[in-house]
Structure 1
Amino acid sequence: MNENTARTIYLASAYGFSAQWKRLLLPEFIGALEALGLEVWEPFARNGQVNLAEPGWAYRVAQRDLQDVRNADALFAIVNGTPPDEGVMVELGAAIALGKPIFLFRDDFRKCTDSEHYPLNLMLFAGLPEVEWEQYVYSHLSEISHPQKALARWVQS
């Protein structure tokens, strides 16, 4: 990687579907990730200039988002909800299949699991190490920059 080129991270979330969430929540996550020196690829900003009246718009958006997942260096997914947003789950599955580093954020206190060991569907943890997977899971915005957590270590590697 060129020293002058920031690593890219795809921000998978459902927050772009709501005007309130887009205005209030997305900027906090984008800011926290950019503070680490990352170039954040937020799909609603990158691929949101779509004419919804135009035939085929949904296919084009999905293809662009998938291409961004392919091209990004890593993926940060907000996995709130029970279950989490299905589009975010597809993006995570693609990133896992591509061998991308993934990082999960969940501050939703509700249980969403099929395992006593993991807080979410066990298949999401196929993309994380078996030992110390907790270092890749975030439950508070302030943890994103924590130097002992996986994202900050990945940025510095």
Structure 2
Amino acid sequence: MARSTIYLASPYGFSEQWKRLLLPEFIAALEGLGLEVWEPFVRNGQVDLSQPGWACEVAKRDLQDVRDADALLAIVNGTPPDEGVMVELGAAIALGKPTFLFRDDFRRCTDSEQYPLNLMLFAGLPSEGWQDFFYDSIESLSDPRKALALWAKG
């Protein structure tokens, strides 16, 4: 039986430090749930950045991966969060994919008393119980009572 796939939308591949120190923790936590992780910086590493049009090619491949993945985890740190991650998250929401949000950034970035981020980022989550789809630590990703672990179990 094929493992469920999850697209990891994050800005962490742009920095060698983040790529080396942060991404492996997220990938390991998601793989620990039995998921196949689609990390775009790894999946699109074969793109020749010296060729004209490389950016468009990367964007198209990333969007196709969002379409093809079973779900999406968006790392939404920053004020505001990374623009590319927001596009990937919006596409997943529009496609009706299960979406999960990760934010361990303590700064508020919101126009709502209810949500810690712009309310549109929660459009793919249930209005009641959205907190079960929102994670604030690497450890919480594997919480068996929260939505990601329950979804991963099928």
TM-based fold match above 0.5: yes
The residue type paired with residue 46 of structure 1 is R
Equivalent residue in structure 2 for 1:90, among 77, 87, 90: 87
Give, in angstroms, the shift of residue 52 of structure 1.
1.7
Matches of 2:124 and 2:77, distance apart in 1: 18
1:31-78 Cα deviation digits (max 9, x unpaired): 000000000000000012222220110110000000000000000011
- Aligned-pair identity in percent equals 75
Q: Aligned runs of 1:78-157 on 2, under 5 Å? A: 78-157=75-154
Give, in angstroms, the shift of residue 81 of structure 1.
0.4
1:13 match: 10
Secondary structure of the residue aligned to 1:22 is helix
Secondary structure of the residue aligned to 1:127 is coil
Q: TM-score, normalised by structure 1?
A: 0.97
Runs of 4 or more consecutive aligned structure 1 residues displaced over 4 Å after TM superposition: none
Does 2:34 match 1:37? Answer: yes
Q: TM-score, normalised by structure 2?
A: 0.99
Matches of 1:89 and 1:114, distance apart in 2: 16
Please report the RMSD computed on the Cα atoms of aligned residues, expressed in angstroms.
0.6
Matches of 1:113 and 1:24, distance apart in 2: 28
